[in-house]
Structure formats: C-alpha cells, structure tokens
Amino acid sequence: MCYSIDRTKFQLCALAIIIFLLSGCQTTGQSPSTSASANNFRVAKDSYTIFYDQKDHLKELIESDNFADASILYEEQRDFFDTKAPTDPELQAALSKVVDKVSKTFESDISATLADIGSAKWPAPPSEWDSIRIKIRTAEGILSIIPKDGVFVNPSYRPDGLSTLQTQTAAWRRKVNSTVEEDFLAYPHFTSEPFFHIHPSSLGAKAFCTQYPSAVSKVLANHSALEIKTFAQSLGEDLVTEDTWRMISEAYMDARLQELPAKGRKLSSVLSALNDAKNAGFKIQTLNSLKIGFVEVTSRTLLKQGQIEFPAEVDVDLPFDITKSELETAFDSETANNADYLIVFDVALAKTRRKIGKMQKQPSQMIVGYRQQQNPEYTQLQNQITTAQMKVQNEAMNVSMAQSQYCYGLGCMGKIISVAAADSRRQEAQDALQGIMAKFNATPMMIDVAIRQPYNYEVADIDASKTMTVHYYVIDKRNKQVFKSTFDVAENKRFGVAYSLAPSDPDAESNAAKYDNEADVAAWEKQASSVKLSQLIDHYLKNESKSVRLTSLSGLRKEMLQDRNTAIANYKANTFEQSTQNDPRFDSVVVIYMPEGGLGSGFFVKPDVVMTNYHVVGEGEFTELKMHDGQETFGKVIARDAVLDLALIKVQARGKPVRFYNKNKIELGSTVEVIGHPRRYEFSITRGVVSAIRKQKSANLGSGTDILQIQVDAAISPGNSGGPVFMDDYVISIADWIRADTGSQNLNFSIHHSEAQRFIRETLGNGS
C-alpha cells in the first residue's frame, strides 16, 4: 500500500498505519467507536490493541486479586481466551489461577454435601423428615450460590462433583414429592407438629391443597370441632387455597352441629356455633346438616305512601338461604318450607331528615355590566405597522442601491446576486407588513371589560339523618318457638351546600365545586341503609329468653299483619295531607308563567280558553301554563283589553270551564274565596267577604272609562292576578289589583263578572 511513493508520502502512510495500530487492531468484536454502554460489557473494554490485549487485562485483574472480574472477563472474551490458551502456557496458567480461586473453592462444600445427602434413606419415618428436609435444602442452597456465569460457562472449569450433586438433589426431590399425599394421609395431624413444617416435600400447603384437595377432606373426617380448629390454626388461612379453607370451615361447622344435642336443638345454640366459627376466622357459606331461611318482606302500602323513603340492604354475612316476598306469602315460599329456622325481616319505617345548623356567608364577585376601553393589542399593532412600513422602505432603498452599483464582465454576476438578495429581503418585509395589517384589521379598537360587584353567597351546614326501624321475627320451627323484636338503625352525615350563587358570577362553577350540592344530599338519602344479619342475630341472642310459644304459622302471619297495620296507622296518624277532592273548582284554575319570570293565575271560561289579566300576559303572543293535575301546556293570546286588564288565551289542553254569577245583585258581606298562586305558592285558597262594589278608573292605565269592580278583603298577593273570585261555585270577579300604600289593609279589587262576560261575548261571540 505504501510502496512506490516519495519519502514524504511514505512517512504519512507509515504514520497512518501506526495510528491505526494504536487505535486498536484487536477489538471485542464491536466497532472501535461503539461505547461500553452499547456493548453492555461488565468488565471487558470497548477495544484492545497489540500493545494491550485481553491477556494483559486478565493479568492486571489477577495481580489486583480481582478474581470475580477476571472470571467475568473470561465469559465476555471467551472466543479470544479459548483460541489463544492452547498455544500460550502463560495464559493457561493465568486461567488456571482464576479457576482455582472462583471454582475450586466450592469443591469441599460439594463433597461434604454429597456425603451427607448420600447417607439418607427414603421413605423415612416422620422423626427423620426434618433432618432430610434440612439435607435437601442445604444441597439446594449450595447449588443456588454457585455462579452460572464467568468461568462456569465452560463445563471443564466447573467444580468437581457439581453435576453429581445436581442429579442427586433432583432425584431426592422427586422421591419425597412422589409420596407426599400418602405421607399426609398417614400423618397424625392432631397430635404432632404441623405436617408442612417438617415434611421435606417442595410442595407448600397451598400447592398441596390445590393438587390433592380430597386428602384434606379425608383427614378431617370424623374429628371433633376442637381438633379441626387446631388443624386449621396449624395451616393458617393465608397458606391454603380459598376452596380448602371453605372446606375446613364447613367441616368445623358440621362437627360443631353434630356435637349439639339432636333433639331439642335450639336456634340460639346453632347461632352461637356460627358466631364461634366466625370469630375463629372460618368462612361458612352453607350449613349441611340444617337449613336457616331468611325472608325479607316489603309493605307495598308503606312504599306507596312514602313511609319507606330509602331501601334496606341486608348484608348476609351468615350462611342463610335468602329470599324476598310479600308478607302474605312469606310462609309459602320454598325457603320458608325447607328451613328448620326462619327469620323474617320487615322494614316498618325508613325516614330521612335534614337540619340546617347555620348559614355562612362566603364572598365572591358577580358581573353587573360592561364598560368599553381601548384595546391595548390594537395600539401595539399600530406600532408594529409603523415599524414594518419603515423596514419595507429601508429594504426598497437597499434594492435601489444594489441596482445602481456599476459592474463589468463577470462582476455583474455578483451584482445580480446582490440585487436578488436585497429584493428577497424587501419581499419578506412586505409580506410581514401585510400579515400585521390583516391582524390589525381583525382587531377591535375597543373591548368590553366586565364591571364586577362584590356579593355574598351562602353555605348551609346540613345535618342529614336516616332512621330505619325493622320488625324482625325469629321462628324456631323445630321447637315451636317465636321471638319478635324491633331493630333500629340510624345514620348521620354532614353536608355543606352552596346557595344563592349569582348566575353572573364568573367563579360560580368553581365556588360550587368546593361544596356538596343538593344532588349529593338526595343521593345519600336514597342510598340503601345496610344492616348486617350478624348484628340482628347478636341482638336476638341477647334477648332469646323473651321467645314465646308458636301456636301456628297462620296465627303468626295474622300477628305480623297486625304489626304492619299498626305501623301504617301510626304513619297515617302523623301524616298531614291536603286534598281538593271535594272542591272541583281547583280543576278550573291554571298557573300562567309570566314573560318576566313571575307567576300569574287564570281559569277556564271555555274548555280550551283561559281568562287572565292583561298585565299577566302583556304583549306576548304565546305563554306557558300548568293545570292543577300537573299537566303542562301552552297557549296563544287571542284577545286582550288593556283598559279592562283582561286577556283570553287559546290553550292546547282542555279544562273545566267555570260558571259566572248570573244575578244583578251581590249582598255586601257575602263570603268569597280566591284561588290562585300568591308569591308562587301554587293553588292557594283564601277567604273573605265582599266589601263593596265600585266603579273606578282602570288600574292598568289609570284613566279612561270607569270599570265596575268588586272590593273584597280576602287576601290577594302578587301571583293571584287573573285568578277567579268565587262566591260558592260561581265566579263573581277576577282578581286584579291591591292598594298597598302605607296604612292600607285588605283593600283588594277585582273586575266585576259582567265586565268579564261582556269581554268574552265581544271576543268569542254569543254562541262561542
């Protein structure tokens, strides 16, 4: 490569070769530029040279007594060492030294362990199990600490006896595992140390129970509850499978029940046994030797009447057969018929209550309007336009200067390039100016700034409570006894609910998020209240002595029905309701939603026509209405008279028209009744007398022709406007206005029925 060249070139070529050699002719198989982190080497370097190779690295590690790294270096550079060692005695000696240090140190332990494990015999009596278990685990411990890497990757460098120890240890494991089920069945579990503490098998309790589930069942057969409990405690729930623990639990419960006297066995004894099982950590899902039924009954009447405001959720934490039924069929269900003992659960009361302790004011701000101010961005863009225009002018001047330069020959090529560059900068400046102008044209000169005003919203401290009363009956069908009692459950929870948050408060949502809301309270109130069946049983066990003789199930059903009826009667005695069943006049009255948000009153004068005040509907064309039965509808205003202050609405729904009074005389002092919605209290009725009949100016306009009006002292408030004033079953006038100046009382005026009837005739015609 470097021959036939001059001296200088030869020197350069030689230097290049030397640099190449110094940079590394021998590598670890990777590119010299590859980093150690990329190679993932623990010990080996990225590359080696003829001046420092893997052998030199190995000797360096040996001299520093770092035999562990020397062993790893062998593994990482095995191709080099296995290739060079056969012809390099010095390298052979170095490798032998490494092997002696990291491999032969284990040979004495391996030899001793082989002798120890070779002296044992299997099968063996339980007295020798623990010793054999220790021997096998010692052998496995030795095998686990012998490295698998380094010089050990070469079979010829592994310690003497290692393969033999591996073979014999595996053989011992197979021996003891093959007899583990037989050994488990023959072992005296109830008088000796726990089986899995001493047996040399590699199977733990959980693995054994999974592989041999029937073996546990066979061991537990025909043993006392105490023995089974001792066995279970020796195993521990955490060390066996869930199915195994359930099987042990049921075996314990069956043994407990078998130990009870079969004749005259009391439910209390069974329940006590269940409690003992539960306290011992057993999980009983079924009772094999007897059946206990649990029936939850529900009163349809109490549910319908709202006496039961939230459901009861029974946490069945005992092995009972569960069903739900009506009380009338509670004893006819399959659960009841098959049960030795029956528990009936009847919710008599489930009520909620809220109590507000205090209202706390919290400050915030609401937007009450807007004012305009100059947009700062608009001014900034104006300044940017001025700057951009100046830049365009400067770049245009640069173009002119470049074009005016004198050139000759090839020098003109430089001028062309200079002019092109200047023109490009001018175009960029022009484009930037156009972009700013476009943004400027889209930016308003003035912007709206919100005007904020401080206000306070309120946070209510709500103490919510739920109270549930349960009647329950425990029926011992075997011993013909019954116990009945009442079980009370009470729950309380505190809520903080924000009220009066202004709609224009920009922080209304975040303020509301700090607290609970009505939906949270309502959801908690509707949430089922939980009753643990075991709690009810504990209550029964404490009061079992109050059990009485059970004469018959039919007689008990009658008694339970009587208890139910007593609860219903108590509810009715403490329930106060309203009714309009005997006053059909309410069916003629409607709610009218006024355009500005208030309520007005109205009444049907035709099956599809409602009369009200003009000031209730105003100049609106359509309006929404609600009838007494809750049905919502809407209508169109078909006639209005501002002087009379009357209007007629054609509605979609049909209602019951009123009857107008048809006589010319009304006795002063006659009793009248007003139906309407004062202050949004819908469908309220007030009573008074006719105070006078007068002709007065229109209350709506304050001028024009006098209108015939009836003065009454029956209470009328905002919301009554447009509603009927009844005398008996006849409408004598339409509520219109009140005099509320200082010192005035009960001066309420209504439009005479004759004015209303004339308005109807003129609008709808006599035959309408």
Q: Looking at the predicted structure, is the pLDDT value of residue 722 above 90? A: yes
pLDDT at 476 over 80: yes
Distance, CA of 121 to CA of 403 (rounded, Å): 110
Q: Residue 130 and residue 125: Cα distance in Å, rounded?
A: 10
Contact 46, 66 (CB under 8 A): no
CA 479 to chain centre: 48
pLDDT in tens, 244-285: 888 888 888 888 888 887 665 677 777 778 878 888 888 877
Flag whether pLDDT at 71 surpasses 50.
yes
Strands (E), 334-378: 341-374
Q: In this model, does residue 30 exceed pLDDT 80?
A: no
Q: Which residues contact 185 (CB under 8 A, 6 or more apart)?
A: 215, 218, 219
For residue 517, what are the CA distances in angstroms to 270, 362, 461, 467, 520? 48, 16, 11, 22, 5
In this structure, is the dihedral angle defined by the CA atoms of residues 238, 244, 248 and 250, taken in order, positive or negative? positive
- The one-character DSSP state at 443 is S
Q: Binning pLDDT at 50, 70 and 90, where does residue 15 land?
A: very low
Nearest-angstrom CA–CA distance, 349 and 316:
20
Residue pair 18/10 in contact (Cβ under 8 Å)? The answer is no
pLDDT of residue 572: 62
DSSP state of 378: H
Query: In which band, very low, low, confident or very high, does the pLDDT at 550 lie, cut at 50, 70 and 90?
Result: confident
Burial bucket for residue 80 (CB in 10 Å: 0-12, 13-18, 19+): buried
Q: How far apart are CA 174 and CA 596, in angstroms?
A: 92
Identify the residue whose tokens are 């021997």: 135
* Side chain identity at residue 3, one-letter code: Y
Residues in the chain: 768
Q: Are 336 and 295 in contact (CB under 8 A)?
A: yes
**Against a cut of 0.85, is the pTM above it?**
no
In the predicted structure, residue 6 carries a pLDDT above the cut 50 = no
Q: Report the pLDDT value the prediction gives residue 302, as an integer from 0 to 100.
A: 63
CA distance readout (Å), 360 to 434, 452, 503, 664 = 57, 22, 19, 59
Give the sign of the dihedral formed by CA 295, CA 301, CA 303, CA 307. Answer: negative
| DSSP assigned state of 646 | E
Asked if pLDDT for residue 420 goes beyond 80, the answer is yes
Which tokens belong to 347?
């919710």
Q: Tell me how far apart the alpha carbons of residues 91 and 591 are, in angstroms, rounded to a whole number.
A: 109
Total Cβ atoms within 10 A of residue 530: 13
CB-based contacts of 703, cutoff 8 Å, min separation 6: 697
Reported confidence tier of residue 619, pLDDT bands at 50, 70, 90: confident
Helices (H), 369-517: 376-404, 411-441, 508-513
The token duo for 480 is 């013909």
Q: Cβ neighbours of residue 61 under 8 Å, at least 6 residues apart?
A: 43, 67, 69, 70, 73
The pLDDT mean for the chain works out to 84
More reliable by pLDDT, 506 or 402: 506
For 364-379, the pLDDT digits (tens) are 999 988 888 898 998 8
What 3-state DSSP class applies to 176? helix
Percent of the chain with pLDDT over 70: 88
How many CB atoms sit inside 10 A of residue 23's CB? 12
pLDDT at 96 > cutoff 70 = yes
For domain 584-764, give the CATH number: 2.40.10.120
Cα–Cα nearest to 674, from 658, 655, 690, 688: 688
Tokens representing 13 are 């070529």
In the predicted model, is pLDDT for residue 620 greater than 60? Answer: yes
What does the pLDDT read at residue 586? 93
Query: How many Å apart are CA 507 and CA 598, to the nearest integer?
Result: 27
Read off the pLDDT of each residue in 624-646 and give the average, rounded to a whole number: 88
Of the CA atoms within 13 Å of residue 121, those in its CB half-sphere come to 3
Average pLDDT over residues 653-664: 93
Least confident of 89-103, 160-174, 281-295, 631-645: 281-295
Highest mean pLDDT out of 28-37, 85-94, 592-601, 725-734: 725-734
The answer to whether residues 185 and 132 touch, using CB atoms and an 8 Å cutoff, is no
Q: What is the CA radius of gyration of the chain?
A: 50
pLDDT band at 767 (very low <50, low <70, confident <90, very high): low
Contact 272, 541 (CB under 8 A): yes
Q: Give yes or no for a contact between 328 and 377, defined as CB atoms under 8 angstroms apart.
A: no
- CA pair distance 78, 84, nearest whole angstrom: 10
pLDDT number for residue 573: 67
Does the pLDDT value for residue 615 go beyond 50? yes
Which residues, listed in sequence order, are joined to residue 98 by a DSSP beta bridge?
Answer: none
